[in-house]
């Protein structure tokens, strides 16, 4: 299952269309869950990614590297950087296609070191879709939208039903997720498949 996807997107992928009710370019996306390590405000040492729709097919996110995110002294841990890309790519798919998806595959190329204190500007775009599979890729630049490229990533996200979360997730956490939504604390989430 884990063979590298050589052609990106693969030949069977079709052009992807954003959902008719996808948030418009310029919309700032809220956290999708307050306890999410990637974007949730309740996770003190989390990544606190903040994302904005840039066009029909793209979302830009920022992530500022803190001391808690170190691997080597003064430098971001690679796994955390991959996590930031997982969040940025997943948020792009989830918000522009308005469907629940999970990461099936994530490839990350680390191009240059990312120091503590720097801000990664991650530009992610939808590349194609084939059935339940959505292909999405991103570049992360240091300290500015046109700064030097520090990482590149590609992700395959698979659309799942709500049963994925109800079967495998924690009921209390799901209840909290729903309450957050009902209280309007996260972005509008009128998903096609609604938990
Ligand atoms: C109630 C909540 C609602 C949520 C809605 C909120 C949305 C918020 C909006 C936005 C924010 C989102 C931000 C989140 C960001 C972070 C996301 C994560 O980190 S997710 C956690 C990590 N990922 C997992 O835990 C998956 C674990 N894996 C699985 O559960 C399964 O393997 C799954 C679902 C991925 C696939 O299992 P199958 O049984 O459903 O389907 P099969 O047939 O195996 O795969 C479907 C197709 O995908 C291909 N595929 C699957 N895995 C592949 C791989 N590794 N490489 C290549 N192809 C793969 C297969 O070959 C197949 O392709 P063919 O349709 O036959 O052409």
How far, in Å, from the CA of 159 to the mean position of ligand 1?
6
> Total structural domains in the chain?
1
User: Which ligand 1 atom is nearest residue 165's CA?
Assistant: 1
- Domain for residue 51, yes or no? yes
Domain that holds residue 78: 28-182
CB 89, CB 59: distance < 8 Å: no
CATH number of the domain within which 44 lies: 3.10.129.10
- Domain for residue 4, yes or no? no
Q: What is the DSSP letter of 37?
A: T
CB 162, CB 193: distance < 8 Å: yes
- Domain for residue 16, yes or no? no
How far, in Å, from the CA of 72 to the mean position of ligand 1?
31
- Domain for residue 102, yes or no? yes
> pTM for the complete prediction?
0.93
CB 34, CB 60: distance < 8 Å: no
User: Which ligand 1 atom is nearest residue 103's CA?
Assistant: 23
Residue 191 CA: distances (Å) to CA of 100, 110, 151 = 8, 33, 31
52-100 tens-digit pLDDT: 999 999 999 999 999 999 999 999 999 999 999 999 999 999 999 999 9
How far, in Å, from the CA of 1 to the mean position of ligand 1?
12
How many Å apart are CA 103 and CA 90, to the nearest integer?
7
- Domain for residue 71, yes or no? yes
Which ipTM did the prediction report? 0.94
102-135 tens-digit pLDDT: 999 999 999 999 999 999 999 999 999 999 999 9
- Domain for residue 134, yes or no? yes
The kind and range of the H/E element at 17 are: none
Q: Which of 65, 107, 118 is nearest to 82 (CA)?
A: 107
């Amino acid at each position: 299952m884990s063979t590298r996807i050589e052609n990106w997107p693969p030949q069977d992928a079709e052009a992807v269309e954003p959902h008719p009710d996808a948030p418009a370019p310029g919309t700032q996306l809220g956290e999708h869950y307050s306890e999410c390590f990637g974007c949730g405000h309740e996770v003190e040492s989390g990544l606190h990614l903040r994302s904005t729709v840039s066009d029909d097919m793209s979302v830009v996110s920022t992530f500022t590297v803190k001391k808690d995110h170190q691997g080597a002294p003064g430098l971001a841990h690679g796994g955390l950087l991959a996590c930031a890309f997982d969040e940025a790519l997943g948020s792009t798919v989830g918000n522009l296609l308005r469907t629940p998806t999970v990461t099936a595959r994530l490839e990350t190329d680390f191009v240059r070191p990312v120091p503590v204190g720097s801000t990664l500007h991650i530009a992610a775009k939808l590349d194609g879709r084939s059935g339940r599979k959505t292909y999405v890729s991103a570049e992360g630049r240091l300290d500015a939208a046109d700064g030097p490229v520090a990482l590149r990533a590609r992700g395959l996200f698979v659309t799942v039903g709500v049963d994925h979360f109800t079967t495998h997730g924690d009921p209390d956490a799901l209840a909290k997720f729903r309450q957050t939504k009902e209280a309007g604390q996260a972005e509008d989430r009128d998903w096609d498949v609604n938990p």
